[in-house]
Structure 1
Amino acid sequence: MTIRMFKAEIYRLKFSKPFYVMFSIGLVAILFQTYSILDRFYIYVGLEDGELTQIFGYNAFLSMGIDGFMMFFIPFIVVSIFSSEYSKNTYKNLITKAKEKGYVFLGKYTAFIGVIFMMNFIFAILSTSLCSVVNGWGDTFNILHILNILFLVIKYTLYFVSVASLIIILSFIIRSEALIVILFFVTNIIESLIASFLPMLNNRFFILISKLFPTSYSNAFFNSNNAETLHAWFSICLTLLISVMISISVFQKKEI
């Protein structure tokens, strides 16, 4: 059931125009990055002085700012997958018992992870390839550079999925897709404020709780500090585990 649902969601999303729009915008962003178009504009109008910032192939994906780019599109991807109608082309004959609904959710959830990973992977290939051709690799080529890029794709995927955890749960409760998108940005602002405020209380318990918020573990997750990175990995895995358990419980009560 889960595999069938995964295939059905991916097949349906292949013909979704918003995803082609997202990829088009991503390609434009990569072109701007590769040719330093914004830097050229700032220098032209006199807002900046100095040399152009040149992005090389080995660090192109990291320099792309994919986090800000994807954070804007995450709620739309959530809406497309989790708030979609149950059409006859996907699961018209679905048995809607509670156990079967759990498989339906897992199919949707794995499709969501797959889409996020695919977008990160494609943007990594495009940005790395284009910057390498135009600006060069930038350093002595090492296979570890490629492995680091692939590992970064995986880390970004897990991070984006964890950030989307709350809005995924809300998408099963709220029927308005526009409201879901708005709530994603609102809850992110509230979450960042809470995560920033809790450590100020100088209480060990609240400080520990604050580290479970995406705002707290996002920087640590991409940090070279092993202790901080390990803590961020734990926070993200715990977030994903709890959110999946809650999501399945809520989804089982959803009318199909």
Structure 2
Amino acid sequence: MKLVSWNVNGLRACVNKGFNDYFSEMDADIFCIQETKLQEGQIVLEQGAEYTQYWNYALKKGYSGTAVFTKIKPLSVRFGMEEDEEPEGRIITLEFDDFYLVNVYTPNARRDLSRLDYRLEWEDRFLTYIAQLDRHKPVIVCGDLNVAHQEIDLKNAKSNRNNSGFTPEERGKMTVLLEAGFVDSFRYIYPDRTDAYTWWSYMPKVRERNVGWRIDYFLVSARLGSSILDAGIDAHVIGSDHCPISLHIDITDR
């Protein structure tokens, strides 16, 4: 099974930069996107009759939003974690026969860390949510988690300490999540690979010099670790400040 995840940072703009070509080339079984930045009816994507589309729009226009395109028919679909949560369109959960897929766009703490407290509280709720799912069947979490977990996961760790996305608090929440029974699929396959990033600033020459962060992930329930065949980062794909990532996994081989 092939899964792809991409923070497109505005789907309409990404479509004009080759999104559809990449989508067709990958021919994924499940393709997840984050930060669609649009409302219902603002775009029509015809990705083939084999795909069913699910969209979670933010109430605020031009903000956040997630979508999933799947060839595999889900048993159920859920939008968000809770009935009364802030309507930012951040989560879509699909239940399949053998696993749950959770497509997520984690809140950013903001440059001035003004949303750090909210972010940490959100992380606690998210862990509770996926842990509850994991008690029923294995979970695959994908998306922009807005944190570089270890120093190996960004180019300039020393100068970014205490910056949004690399604060001890955010990194600590990722550690707690992994210790709760989840595996970072990329580090499972490539524990020591350096210069492997998924996001780059739009500042001049930053991407060309590969001064980046790895903040997009496929996490899987620990009992699926041995089923991971490969985890990819398509850093050459332009169209967003993030690049797509992929997961090849054989869940039937558990």
TM class by smaller structure: under 0.3
- Give the number of the structure whose residues are more often strand, by fraction: 2
- Give the number of the structure whose residues are more often helix, by fraction: 1
Name the TM-score, length of structure 2 as normaliser: 0.25
